[in-house]
Chains A and B, each alone.
Chain A
């Protein structure tokens, strides 16, 4: 009789929130030594918010871990430390000591080597070192093709490998958390969220995110059609290259030399969401929030780079 729309406080955001909270509580209850990977971006901000909600009024029983490549935007590091302090969550920061010793960086070693050593290898190192049996991450199924097929509880063998051909069936909300020593599970509470859901939830719940997501005047150089922000003096400038102040923002946050900015005037959260809605739904469709169609066309062309 009752329409699905009016059940359980109806809105799909509420259902997504409840599902994520359920998943986090299962992790806390079923694993001996879980951790939440915190990468300081918008998805991590939502994860941290949900983590607090799931265990309220208790402090989160799961520590945060940030794999620091040493090339993150400076603002990200300051933001990370402040949020950990404010929420009372325990924060573990891990940097690959081998990479640090060898001076691995994106400019000297190239982005592929840098990413492998300072991110992928560093993560495995940290998981082994702390013997974490579950790692919560913020990946979503709408992000990427193989992610569309991954389980919420995604099993990893002792070598941290995922076997996509042999995933455990996952029915209802019954998650199988049983593993042997050395094995682990990656857990994705945001599996069923889309990027739009994330932004709407950030707005609705008033969740703090780094201001790099909002447009501001920033010093950038253009390389291969990509705008790179000069965040510190480690960035080698080519002959005749001088940073220009342009009004830009970031759609994702990572290592600053590897993260392209987009030109945008969206300096508030509603404007960012508006830009995204227009971009995804296309201006041909006079939909919902489409008052700024002229600007969006240009917008999308810029975003096409990424």
Chain B
């Protein structure tokens, strides 16, 4: 009997639960605005506190509270994060509560500017933002910054909670002024839906129960709004899109493509195309562990089988053929930079979008955006927590959607190739037509043909090392010997190239990146012409040497590390540059106030301190010709 009633009760609860949705929200505002109090109040009002927690809170409120012995909810949430003292207050904390109508996941975000990247982490999965404003203070710089980040990440719903109304005598005009000011801001930012509610988190006014003191407010309470607000998903107008996560092949008779539906619906029999490849087929089955589906919808985790055998792999997007996504390799995008090392245009990063990872470069920073004022500023680099509007190019054309239409196929991250850190979050805007319009021109005489007349195998010898390390000396010797042996060579020397091709570039990090990019491209063209190219550039950054290497076929690029201790270079100082740098007359000098990143996988490692230049030159030539012997 007891079992029956328990089962019936749980079944009833589950039925109710089945139709209960999930709302993910982010709370913005500093602790001073009453965020902790509001969260504590919500946990209390939705009865997610145990009796023992409550009695502890009563005790704490008596002892430490700031509310004359009344319950001080801030103690509750701050107590949950005792690790604040240990310095992990910097990050977003996830909290959970629920009512009979919805489950809520709250990303509780830190307020300070230096933690903008962590706020972005919380905002990226939020359907709605609760922006807290202190009624006495009105809109602050922080309100603007948080709202901008929310808008950037595509949050279309803001609940503006004007808090501490009890401290302004519940005055309607104070609330109305703040609401009007915020609506203006929201219009500028393109936030579609704003609901403003006057509250006192401390007293409980308009949090979960209507406020008698503010009878003039005829809108919902905060909790009512959270329970009932309708969140439309973007991507509703798009056709079917599913990035392939994993190819399921348990045996020869089954080949399925597993993924989560990003947009649209799909049914067995529908025609689909796999992008970027373009293979077409029809859906045979929509497989799940709970049985095959008649239709799959956004958010479903499914496995598709096709009527025909097609070569489709992880990273491809399976799309409906009626209106498939565009495929492109150059884009305009917003970018939030999240790393301590600045973004440098031209430097290669990994870009992950959907389930695909490609190599990418930011080709241009059109402007950066002051997140506090939304002003556009000129910029050559992006520092930590800065937002820029950029052009980005990737090394393989990829299917995509504008972020505004589909977060799953328009949101991307950049990953540093050396540290593997997640350094940026981006939102694709549109494809640049440039790539479409400039096709690769087919040329009948190819590099093999040109090399054949020369009777040599084209290659690039890349000399890297500090200023004064002896790069040019060794490179010069190598070229002389190769020339004497009948090889057609060219030596590109850093100083000489800076007098011509690169004379517009200085010595900032971004200019150094561009310096290397240009010479690497020139070296590539010259090997296409059949030449053996010697490049003698300091090239201090690993990333750029890697970028240069990536332009060449394996085996055609030989990195030569001319390894001379800084002290020796400085003693030699053939051009007097070290002396100037030490005297502070020369900025950004490699080895002094700009880093030299040691090569990790150089083909040739030359120790100049104890070996004569002609012996070193011979080592390089042996490396170059080792395959010809």
What is the interface of chain A, defined by CB distance below 8 A to chain B?
Answer: 1-18, 21-22, 25-26, 28-29, 52-59, 141-142, 145-146, 148-149, 164-165, 167-174, 176, 178-180, 191-192, 194, 197, 200, 203-204, 267-271, 273-274, 277, 279-282, 284-285, 287-289, 291, 300, 304
Contact = CB atoms under 8 A, between A and B. Distances in A.
Interface in B183-242: 230-233, 236
B88 A164 contact: yes
Given A176-B413, A176-B415, A180-B420, A57 B299 contact: no
Contacts of B297: 7-9
B246 A25 contact: yes
30 contacts: A4-B22, A4-B23, A5-B20, A7-B297, A11-B17, A12-B103, A18-B301, A25-B301, A54-B258, A146-B88, A148-B93, A148-B94, A149-B94, A164-B83, A168-B422, A169-B120, A169-B121, A169-B425, A171-B125, A171-B413, A176-B352, A178-B420, A203-B10, A268-B3, A270-B3, A270-B9, A271-B6, A281-B48, A288-B9, A289-B12
A174 B82 contact: no
Contact of A26 (B125, B245, B250, B338): B245
Contacts of B289: 52-53, 56
Contacts of B590: none
B491 interface: no
Nearest to A2: B232
B264 to A, nearest CB: 12
A172 B425 CA distance: 10
User: Which interface class (under 10, 10 to 19, 20 to 34, 35 or more) fits B?
Assistant: 35 or more
A56 B289 CA distance: 6
A291 B88 CA distance: 42
Interface in B338-356: 338, 350, 352-353, 355
B117 interface: yes
Contact of B6 (A149, A268, A300): A268
A1 B233 CA distance: 8
A3 B412 CA distance: 26
A52 B91 CA distance: 33
Contact of A170 (B16, B49, B121): B121
Nearest to B10: A270
Between B94, B95, B249, B353, the greatest number of chain A beta carbons within 10 A of the residue's beta carbon is seen for B94
A149 B93 contact: yes
Given A1-B236, A148-B81, 4 more contacts: A11-B20, A54-B301, A55-B248, A200-B17
Contacts of B51: 282, 300
A172 B10 contact: no
Interface of B: 2-3, 5-7, 9-14, 16-23, 47-52, 80-83, 87-88, 90-96, 100, 102-103, 105, 117-118, 120-121, 124-125, 127, 230-233, 236, 245-246, 248-250, 254, 256, 258-261, 287-290, 297-301, 303, 314, 338, 350, 352-353, 355, 407-408, 411-413, 415, 420-422, 425
Contacts of A22: 245, 260, 301
Contacts of A2: 230, 232-233, 236
Nearest to A142: B96
Contacts of B23: 4
Given A4-B21, A192-B105, A148 B420 contact: no
A47 B338 CA distance: 32
B47 A172 contact: no
A56 B303 contact: yes
B514 to A, nearest CB: 26
Contacts of A267: 3
Given A141-B96, A165-B90, A11 B425 contact: no
Contacts of A12: 17, 20-22, 102-103
A165 B88 contact: yes
B121 A203 contact: no
A147 to B, nearest CB: 9
A277 B48 contact: no
Contacts of B301: 17-18, 21-22, 25, 53-54
Contacts of B421: 168
Given A12-B20, A169-B422, A178-B415, A274 B10 contact: yes
Top 5 nearest A-B pairs by Cβ distance?
A8-B299, A5-B21, A12-B22, A58-B250, A56-B289
B10 A289 contact: yes
Contacts of B103: 12, 197
Given A18-B301, A300-B51, A171 B245 contact: no
Given A12-B22, A176-B352, A282-B50, A171 B230 contact: no
B422 A170 contact: yes
A171 B2 contact: no
A144 to B, nearest CB: 10
